[in-house]
Structure formats: structure tokens, C-alpha cells
Amino acid sequence: MNATLSAILGVPDAFDSSPRCGVTMLLPVDPGASVESAAGFATVVAQVTLVWCVLWYASVLFARLWLLKWLPRSSVESENGSFFVGQKFPAMLKVILVSGMANACLWGFQDKSLEQNFLGGPAIEIAGLLFTTFEIADLVLATGHRLMDWEYVVHHLLHIVLGLIIRGNCMTGLLAAVLMAQETSGIFLNYFLLMRNRAPNHWSVTASFVLFALAFFAYRIVLGTYGTYHYVRYYRDYLPPQVPRWQGHLIAPVLVLASILQWYWSVQIGRRVFKKLSGGDARQSKSD
């Protein structure tokens, strides 16, 4: 069963150092080519980023024309705007698509060798493209509409750097799956952020926060820390030969910084959990 799943997901069954990105993707930009060019990669990134921008603003328009009329008002006035509400829909679509593919890919890597862990694959390439382009679009648009603080700007920038290098070089499939599987926690976070100040005592808000906290710990702390350790421990010996060494080296400190940020947020989330369990109100915590 695991071998079948690996074949479906395109997880390598043998060591093959030749890059395959852009050739096995659903949206190839170099028809007939055996290797994706830098120009082709830049083109498809720009195209999919534009699609996310269109979805982003379409969701904002949907929120303005219809949803805000039915949604309870938030006690925080800035959350009653169409940009804040609309952003949650493309964000939810992204986390569902990306985390679904990434979690499936993780299963496919269970019995793979270290060499195979550092290769790419079709499903991972597609998920990586969706993930990275959304981060680019969301960083530009959400920052432009003042929806992000410095923590989330840093968070997006780190993910964009990692996404461009990993997807651009068709490598580190296991690491890519680990990073994108962390989006699982966003399924619960998006609902919590939308509703926490609209219906703070509703059972669904409490449930979404509890599920978010559990998923955050499992995916972003346990799995994410393992992914960082695994890469830092083995990348010097197992990176595919087509990967520029400076890019391989750059990934290591970026991963460490991203892990530090996740651990910092885990402390904030832990404080909120403690306050909720002790009856305190921590709805305004910066950790979310």
C-alpha cells in the first residue's frame, strides 16, 4: 500500500539527481523539455501568484457584498472590514489543499532512504508551488491593507525563501512535506481568528482553538523541529548535485529561525491555554 501511495504521489523509488520540476507538474511551462528553466519557473510562480491575488480580492468582494451582512460583528472594529474577513477564504483554501497533499506525501516517505528524502516529486512540487505563491500574494496584499504585524511578515518571508529555493531546485521532498504539513493547524486557526471576537463563548470557537493548539504542537513543534534537525544533520551529504551549495547552506539558518519563531508562538499559545483553563480571558493574545 505504501509503495502504491508513493507511486501516485511521485515519491522517488530510486536515486535520480535530474530535476523534474515543471515537467511532471499539472501546469508545465516548458512543454517538451526535460528540465524546467529558470525563466519557466519564474513564469509559473508569477502566474499562480496572480491567480491567488484574484481569489484574494474576489473573496474580499464577496465579504463586502454579502457575508458581512450576516456575520456577527466583532468587538474589535478592525475585524469588521471586508479585507480582514475576505482574506480568510483564500487562506482556508490554501491550507486545505497544501496540507492535504503534504500529509499524504509524508506517508509516502515512510520507507524511503536518505537519498530519496532529499529528492522532489510531482505532488510535492504542486503543493510547493501553491504554498509559495500564496505566501507571496498574501504578504503583498495583507501587508498593503495593514492586516499583518511584524511577526507574520517575518513568518511569510521565511516561508517564501524556503519555498523558492526548495521548489526551484526540485529537492528535499521530505522537508517540503514536513513544512507544508504544518499548514494543518491553519484549518482551525482561520476559523478561530474569524470568530473569536464575534462569538467568543460559542463552543465552535473554543473547539477550534483547542484543535489549533493540538495541531500546532504536533505539526509545528514536534514534526517541524524534527524536519529542521533532519535537514541540518544530513543535507551536506545528501543534497542532489544540481542544487547550488550556497542555497543548500542558506536553508539551514532559515529553518532554524523559522523553528525559533514557532517555539516563540508556542509559548504564547501555552499561556492562552493556561488562561482558558484557569478561567482567564486571553482573547487578545498576540500568539494567534
In a domain, 105, yes or no: yes
pLDDT of 110-150, one tens digit each? 888 999 999 888 888 899 999 999 999 999 999 999 998 88
In a domain, 231, yes or no: yes
Q: CA end-to-end span of the chain, whole Å?
A: 38
- Cα–Cα distances in Å, from 34 out to 20, 28, 146? 7, 11, 43
Is 5's pLDDT higher than 50?
Answer: no
pLDDT of 179-235, one tens digit each? 999 999 999 999 999 999 999 989 999 999 999 999 999 999 999 999 999 999 999
Query: What pLDDT is stored for residue 80 in this prediction?
Result: 95
Could you give the percent of the chain with pLDDT greater than 90?
Answer: 66
Query: What pLDDT is stored for residue 9 in this prediction?
Result: 52
Q: Indicate the SS3 state at residue 285.
A: coil
In a domain, 210, yes or no: yes
In a domain, 57, yes or no: yes
Cell of 127: 503543493
Confidence of residue 169 (pLDDT cuts 50, 70, 90): confident
pLDDT of 32-56, one tens digit each? 555 677 788 888 899 999 999 999 9
CA distance 270 to 272: 5
Could you give the percent of the chain with pLDDT greater than 70?
Answer: 84
* Residue 115 domain boundaries: 19-277
Whole-model pTM: value is 0.86
Compute the average pLDDT of residues 88-96.
Answer: 97
Query: What pLDDT is stored for residue 8 in this prediction?
Result: 47
Confidence of residue 243 (pLDDT cuts 50, 70, 90): confident
In a domain, 1, yes or no: no
Question: What letter does residue 170 receive in the DSSP assignment?
Answer: T
Is 13's pLDDT higher than 60?
Answer: no
Question: What letter does residue 222 receive in the DSSP assignment?
Answer: I
In a domain, 5, yes or no: no
Judged by average pLDDT, the poorest of 22-31, 56-65, 234-243, 258-267 is 22-31
In a domain, 286, yes or no: no
CB atoms < 10 A from the CB of 111, how many?
11
Q: Indicate the SS3 state at residue 244.
A: coil
pLDDT of 244-264, one tens digit each? 999 999 999 999 999 999 999
Confidence of residue 77 (pLDDT cuts 50, 70, 90): very high
DSSP secondary structure of 53-110: HHHHHHHHHHIIIIIHHHSPPPSSGGGGSHHHHHHHHHHHHHHHHHHHHHHHHHHHTT
Residues 120, 9, 163, 220: is their CA dihedral positive or negative?
A: negative
In a domain, 14, yes or no: no
Query: What pLDDT is stored for residue 196 in this prediction?
Result: 94
- Mean model confidence pLDDT for the chain: 86
Select from 96, 97, 106, 112 the least CA-distant residue to 218: 106
Query: What pLDDT is stored for residue 1 in this prediction?
Result: 40
Question: What letter does residue 119 receive in the DSSP assignment?
Answer: B
Select from 174, 160, 165, 180 the least CA-distant residue to 233: 174
Cell of 162: 524556503
With vertex at residue 152, the alpha carbon angle to CA 47 and CA 132, rounded to the nearest 5 degrees, is 25
Query: What pLDDT is stored for residue 17 in this prediction?
Result: 41
The count of structural domains within the chain is: 1
Q: What are phi and psi of 171, to 5 degrees?
A: -140, 180
